[in-house]
């Protein structure tokens, strides 16, 4: 037994000095301190924090009355509507775990998740009822209780369940005695990550991490009280990088949005003086490439977090030019979304815009309340030198790291090998300590023994004035093993030939890095705007077979 | 055994996903991310975060080499110099506990603290060497190791020890392998609170609370990255309300200050573009009453936290008038300083200045990461109604609450009775949920069976244009039991008679609340600017005996 000193004797935790960390405390405080401040905007709806709290308590009461409690799963198939926001509080208030389903998914994948996650209740938006119906048909008898979340803005009014969300709430006990989790290590959310092979893995996050990540978002991004946040990022994507909980912490206003529409975005930004938004590079590309008429009358500064892929330098530059100040963050679902940030150095502000954009395009340093981001040699687990050249794997350590994968001990053990969370992303460390992804492991193109960074080639393509979006993948090649193949989406009205683009690349890249094939047209993207490289790889494989 | 569900099975804490919360992580991150940003300014000294980190590691290494480790106490008798800031990191890096001594104290009180706290090492500023020498003489053989912290700005160069602080650091291992605490519940600091009776109590705080309080300071006050903070508040006072740790979190600049001097304060504010400061009302009174010439050339906004006593409405108004935006916080050493904040409502901004000042003068609502502040009936422990009239005791619950009092189980049990931390302060709750102190328990004057709030009388006195500072205490009275007695400090050059002030009070207060005796002159204050009411009470007692 270790020696006990005076600072431990009789100075134990008690009810007064130790409270389990949970973002549910943020909701309670927002409702207590700012009951009349606006929490949610959606169409004509304006809902205060006081009202939001009352509705979340009713939701929790209603779920509890249906037998939902600690360790149960409540799944939702919802766009960014107010009910989705409320579920981030009402579900964990019962002790249950919120499982947000990706609304782009269909039958089989959804059936797997509902079964694997063991959802007891499922909330569905009418637009996604057909996909859910196909999934339920595969589930057989083990159907969860279905609740329809009606929405006048949905394209259909299709119903699957026996009760609507509003009926559920109306029946919920308005005085339901919700409690903080028994332990801050208890699960709060379940998010399935879509792998390119095998079954999806269920990332389980905990209350402690959700609390600290929310605070880290507020501190790292300097989000002020009552910020107005536009929901361009799906809440099903890593709990909207956990911003529902950040918004409660700073008692901000969430402007909801069913789908990404650039005209509507600009209208909402103008009407509500939106101050903050998050998104993948494609969201910002859309904003910067929108007709100038849409941007009329916008005179207030906007802060954007950008993540989801390495942000093209051109996008960062274009955003700054129209008054959107971007902060680049990096993370994965396993680390609550942002877990590294490209923290802006005071000294950068005097550099040329292009240089600033280059510096801001790096993955950076640990998020304020995350402990460590490191780049290690996968074999020795030792950090690589900060020389900007030696490639290693990005790993994380800190309180913003998941509990593990649900019912998947092998994947969990692999992810945590050696006491680090392994991202699978390859990177170098620059002399200033900033991490820079060279490539997601699977994005390296190996051509004639030379490694080609698809990101490097994409960065060059994005510099062409006619290019809206570019994605480069490996195409099997009989002679070289692999060669780069580029998928290119042009700006509205622009024209460009493969020859012109080849010449443009030749002027800036080594010959072996210039794409050998260009395909023009819309690029396959996930609902979060992430380019679906695995689809492009399929296509380039087929193309190579045909050739 | 409770039922274990899938969210617990095989999803345990490990090295990758669970790190003990400690503000030491903030220092490491500041040094890693912003090594060249300025951490400390003192006279001609400019010290970066990289340098500060290196010095803290050396300090920790040197202390460890002297046998300092987990559960040991290192005491410091220092003004707001850089060494004091460094001790907030270097001492806990060894696992030891930092005990900051109040530099206004003398022999006996210091001897008690050194003995009771068991200080193994004591760092001393030359100015306070005589007081420490008297204390050591009372300690006998159990002398701690004494380190002299030399300072060219100190009034003397008196040395007590065998080594200086710089010699200590020079001998410290620059590669000392400091570690986070084994448990976030481990003690980080020991602060003695000066009671009016009996021995001081040693408040023991923990790493978890220090971490969360630092984040709460940053979020609640909206402190941006690289804020420039002026040390008008002594670091020995509740660890400078824990701002050394907040400054590390936001990588800000600390402008050090040996003593409160209004000309020097304005010079530093101008030179370094100070953006933030904290203090008791007297600090702000000094700033607002300073000759206008001192304020010349100041054109940037300044944010001030005000606490330590109920802020007179007149002080809040006067600060706003010269561009200092005040936020009123409330707390005690036992709750890491600020644990409640008078959060400004958006709707207040359109109200008249006096009304805003009145609203801002309340103790308010829980700090962002503090769980609960409540006003309860001391007998039933039930919350009083939010009617603005029913008086109860302010209590706290949350992670920003001390472990307890060192070697004082009775006081600890009393402080935590019923699962709340009891402040001993009496308050009401307004209809909007904001707590307002009616009186520190001992500040109620009971006259002819009627309760008189000394704060109410003080607020009236502060409205008189000639009054700089006023304090009202009970004076024993043969007929009424007690009567109010007022101590008044006038503004420079102002004159005022007791008769004039009596008439002024009569116009605004019920007759029994008007002070029966006025005494003009400087008011006894602690080093933190807190009025020493117990001294005034002594004097009013003597005065009543003479009369």
- One DSSP character per residue, B401-425 reads S-SEETT-HHHHHHHTGGGSEEEEE
CA A332/CA A312 separation, integer angstroms: 19
Q: Decide if B326 contacts B320 (C-beta within 8 A).
A: yes
Which residues of chain B are within 8 Å of residue A347 when distances are taken between CB atoms? 36
Residue among B3, B7, B27, B99 with most chain A CBs within 10 A, to mutate: B7
pLDDT, position B546 = 53
Across the interface, do B249 and A219 touch by the CB < 8 Å criterion? yes
Name chain B contacts of A401, Cβ cutoff 8 Å. 16-17
Judged by CB atoms closer than 8 Å, whether chains meet at B404 and A32 is answered as no
Kindly tell me the number of DSSP H helices and DSSP E strands found in chain B.
17, 26
The three-point CA angle A404-A410-A412 to 5° equals 15
Distances (CA, A) of B390 to B330, B376, B430, B452: 20, 10, 10, 15
Cβ <8 Å between B402 and A249: no
CA B234 to centroid of chain Cα atoms: 7
Task: For residue A19, list chain B residues with Cβ-Cβ distance below 8 A.
Answer: 371, 397-399
Q: Which residues of chain B are within 8 Å of residue A226 when distances are taken between CB atoms?
A: 346
Distance CA B229, CA B265 (A): 12
Name B113's Cβ contacts closer than 8 Å, sequence gap at least 6.
B75, B99, B101, B105, B119, B192, B200, B202
- With beta carbons under 8 A apart, name residues in chain B contacting A16: 395-397, 401, 416, 419-421
Segment holding B356, helix H or strand E = helix B353-360
To test the contact with chain B by mutation, choose from A4, A16, A71 the residue with the greatest count of B C-beta atoms within 10 A, namely A16
Q: Does B410 touch chain A (CB under 8 A)?
A: no
- Chain A positions touching B433 (Cβ under 8 A) are 32-33
CA closest to A400 among chain B residues: B17
Do A16 and B419 make contact, defined as CB atoms within 8 angstroms? Answer: yes
Contact (CB<8Å) A7/B346: no
Collect all residues of chain B within an 8 Å Cβ-Cβ radius of residue A228: none
Cβ-contact A226, A207 below 8 angstroms: no
List helix spans (H) across A140-183. Answer: 165-170
Cβ-Cβ contacts under 8 Å, A419 against chain B: 14-16
Q: How many CB pairs under 8 A join A and B?
A: 174
Minimal C-alpha gap between B49 and chain A (Å): 13
B219, B250 contact by CB (below 8 A):
no
Rounded-to-integer distance, Cα A423 and Cα B174, Å: 33
Chain B residue closest in CA terms to A28: B371
- Which chain A residue's Cα is nearest to B347? A37
Dist. CA B208–CA A285, nearest whole Å: 42
Per-residue pLDDT of A294-314, as tens digits, reads: 988 888 999 999 986 557 778
Nearest to B11 among A15, A29, A404 (CB): A404
For the record, the structure tokens of A434 come out as 């900033």
d(CA A500, CA A497): 5
Residues sharing a CB contact under 8 Å with residue B197, sequence separation 6 or more, in sequence order: none
Cβ distance B403 to A17 less than 8 Å, yes or no, reads: yes
Between strands A324-332 and A302-306, the pairing is parallel
Backbone φ, ψ for residue B216 (5° rounding): -65, -40
Burial class (CB in 10 A: 0-12, 13-18, 19+), B296: exposed
Q: Which residues of A touch B187 (CB under 8 A)?
A: 7-8, 11
Q: Nearest by CB to A33, which of B33, B209, B343?
A: B343
Chain A CB contacts of B398 under 8 Å are 17, 19
Spell out a b/e string for B197-211, using b for 16 or more CB atoms within 10 Å of the CB, else e.
eeebbbbbbbbbbbb
Contact status, residue A213 vs residue A400, Cβ threshold 8 Å? yes
Residues on chain A touching B72 (C-beta within 8 angstroms): 5
Given this model, what pLDDT does residue A544 score? 66
A249/B97 CB distance under 8 A: no
Contact state of A17 with B97 under an 8 Å Cβ cutoff: no
Enumerate the H helices of A242-368 as residue ranges: 243-249, 262-272, 281-288, 313-321, 353-360
CA atoms within 13 A on the CB side of B39: 34
- Beta strands A467-477; A481-490: pairing state: antiparallel
Nearest-Å Rg of the Cα atoms of chain B is 24
Is B17 touching A (CB cutoff 8 A)? yes
How far off is chain A from B233, nearest CA to CA, in Å?
Answer: 23
pLDDT at A169: 98
CB A119 within 8 A of CB A97: no
Interface touch B404/A10, C-beta < 8 Å: yes
Q: Spell out the per-residue pLDDT of chain B, length 547, in tens.
A: 445 689 988 999 999 999 999 999 999 999 999 999 999 999 999 999 999 999 999 999 999 999 999 999 999 999 999 999 999 999 999 999 999 999 988 888 899 999 999 999 999 999 999 999 999 999 988 899 999 999 999 999 999 998 999 999 999 999 999 999 999 999 999 999 865 446 789 999 999 999 999 999 999 999 999 999 999 999 999 999 999 999 999 999 999 999 999 999 999 999 999 999 999 888 898 899 899 899 888 889 999 999 865 577 788 888 988 889 999 999 999 999 999 999 999 999 899 888 888 898 899 999 999 999 999 998 899 999 999 999 899 999 999 999 999 999 999 999 999 999 999 888 999 999 999 988 666 667 877 666 677 888 888 898 899 999 999 998 888 777 788 999 999 998 899 999 999 999 998 887 888 999 999 999 887 665 677 787 888 788 777 665 4
Coil vs helix vs strand at B526? coil
Give the separation between CA A272 and CA A42, rounded to whole angstroms.
11
CB half-sphere exposure, A495, CA atoms < 13 A: 0
- The separation between the first and the last C-alpha atoms of chain B, rounded to the nearest angstrom, is 73
Tell me which residues of chain A have a pLDDT lower than 50: 1-2, 196-197, 547
What's the order of all strands across the beta sheet hosting A45-48? A45-48, A38-42, A253-255, A228-230, A276-279, A302-306, A324-332, A337-341, A365-366
Q: Which stretches does DSSP call E strand in A54-126?
A: 73-77, 97-100, 119-124
Predicted local confidence at residue A243, as pLDDT: 98
Provide CB contacts within 8 A for B517, sequence distance 6+: B475, B483, B485, B486, B498, B540, B543
Distance in angstroms (rounded) separating the CA atoms of residues A130 and A106: 9
Whether B398 contacts B366, CB under 8 Å? yes
Q: Per the structure block, which two tokens stand in for B310?
A: 């109920």
Q: Assess contact for A232 and A254: CB atoms under 8 A.
A: no
Please, are residues A460 and A445 in contact by the beta-carbon 8 Å criterion?
Answer: no
The C-alpha atoms of residue B132 and residue B109 are separated, in whole angstroms, by 10
* A408: nearest CA partner in chain B: B10
What is the three-class DSSP state of B178?
coil
A10 and B37: CB-CB below 8 Å? no
A34 contacts B345? CB cut-off 8 A: yes
Distance CA A406, CA A192 (A): 9
Strands B73-77 and B119-124: parallel
> CB A204 to CB B11 under 8 A?
yes
Q: Do A250 and B219 touch (CB under 8 A)?
A: yes
Interface check for B398 against chain A (CB to CB < 8 A): the answer is yes
Hey, what's the torsion of the CAs at B51, B57, B63, B69, to 10 degrees? Answer: 150
Q: Which of B2, B15, B17, B91 to mutate to test the interface with A (most CBs of A within 10 A)?
A: B17
Compute the nearest-CA separation of B119 from chain A (Å).
12
Confirm if A151 and A163 have CB atoms less than 8 A apart.
no
- B368 Cβ under 8 Å from any chain A Cβ: yes
Say if the Cβ atoms of A371 and B218 lie within 8 Å. no
Measured between CA atoms, how close is A194 to chain B, in angstroms? Answer: 20
Long-range Cβ contact pairs of B136-145 (< 8 A, separation 24 or more)? B136/B111, B136/B160, B137/B107, B138/B107, B138/B108, B138/B111, B139/B111, B139/B114, B139/B115, B142/B115, B144/B75, B144/B114, B144/B119, B144/B120, B145/B66, B145/B120, B145/B121
């Amino acid at each position: 037994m270790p020696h006990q000193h005076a600072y431990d004797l009789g100075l134990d935790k008690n009810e007064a000095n130790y409270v389990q960390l949970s973002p549910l405390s943020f909701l309670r405080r927002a409702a207590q301190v700012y009951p009349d401040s606006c929490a949610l905007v959606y169409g004509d709806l304006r809902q205060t924090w006081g009202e939001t709290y009352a509705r979340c308590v009713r939701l929790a009461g209603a779920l509890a009355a249906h037998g939902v409690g600690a360790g149960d799963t409540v799944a939702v198939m919802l766009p960014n509507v107010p009910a989705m926001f409320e579920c981030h509080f009402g579900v964990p208030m019962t002790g249950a775990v919120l499982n947000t389903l990706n609304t782009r998914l269909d039958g089989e994948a959804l059936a797997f998740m509902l079964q694997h996650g063991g959802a007891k209740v499922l909330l569905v938006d009418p637009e996604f009822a057909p996909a859910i119906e196909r999934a339920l048909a595969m589930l057989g008898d083990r159907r969860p209780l279905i609740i329809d979340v009606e929405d006048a803005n949905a394209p259909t009014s299709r119903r699957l369940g026996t009760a609507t969300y509003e009926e559920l709430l109306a029946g919920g006990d308005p005085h339901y005695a919700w409690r903080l989790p028994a332990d801050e290590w208890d699960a709060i959310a379940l998010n399935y990550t879509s792998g390119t092979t095998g079954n999806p893995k269920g990332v389980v996050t905990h209350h402690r991490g959700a609390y600290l990540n929310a605070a880290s978002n507020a501190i790292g991004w300097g989000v002020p009280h009552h910020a107005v946040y536009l929901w361009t990022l799906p809440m099903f994507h890593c709990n909207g990088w956990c911003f529902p909980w950040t918004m409660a912490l700073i008692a901000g206003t969430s402007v909801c949005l069913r789908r990404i529409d650039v005209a509507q975005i600009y209208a909402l930004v103008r009407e509500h003086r939106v101050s903050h938004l998050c998104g993948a590079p494609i969201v910002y590309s859309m904003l910067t490439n929108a007709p100038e008429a849409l941007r009329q009358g916008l005179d207030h500064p906007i802060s954007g977090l950008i993540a989801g892929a390495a942000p093209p330098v051109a996008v960062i530059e274009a955003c700054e030019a129209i008054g959107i100040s971007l902060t680049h963050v990096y993370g994965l679902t396993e680390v609550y979304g942002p877990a590294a940030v490209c923290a802006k150095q005071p000294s950068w502000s005097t550099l040329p815009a292009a240089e600033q954009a280059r510096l801001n395009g790096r993955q950076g340093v640990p998020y304020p309340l995350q402990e460590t981001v490191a780049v290690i040699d996968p074999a020795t687990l030792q950090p690589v030198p900060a020389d900007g050249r030696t490639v290693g794997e990005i790993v994380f350590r800190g309180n913003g790291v998941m509990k593990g994968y649900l019912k998947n001990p092998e994947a969990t053990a692999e992810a945590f090998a050696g006491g680090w969370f392994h991202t699978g992303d390859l990177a170098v460390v620059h002399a200033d300590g900033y991490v820079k992804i060279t490539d997601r492991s699977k994005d390296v193109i190996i051509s004639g023994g030379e490694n080609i960074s698809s990101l490097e080639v994409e960065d060059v393509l994005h510099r062409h004035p006619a290019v809206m979006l570019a994605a480069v993948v490996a195409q099997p090649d009989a002679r070289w093993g692999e060669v780069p193949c580029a998928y290119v989406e042009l700006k509205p009205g622009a024209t460009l030939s493969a020859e012109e683009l080849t010449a443009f690349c030749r002027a800036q890249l080594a010959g072996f890095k210039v794409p050998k094939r260009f395909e023009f047209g819309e690029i396959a993207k996930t609902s979060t705007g992430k380019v679906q490289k695995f689809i492009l790889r399929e296509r380039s494989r087929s193309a190579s077979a045909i050739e």
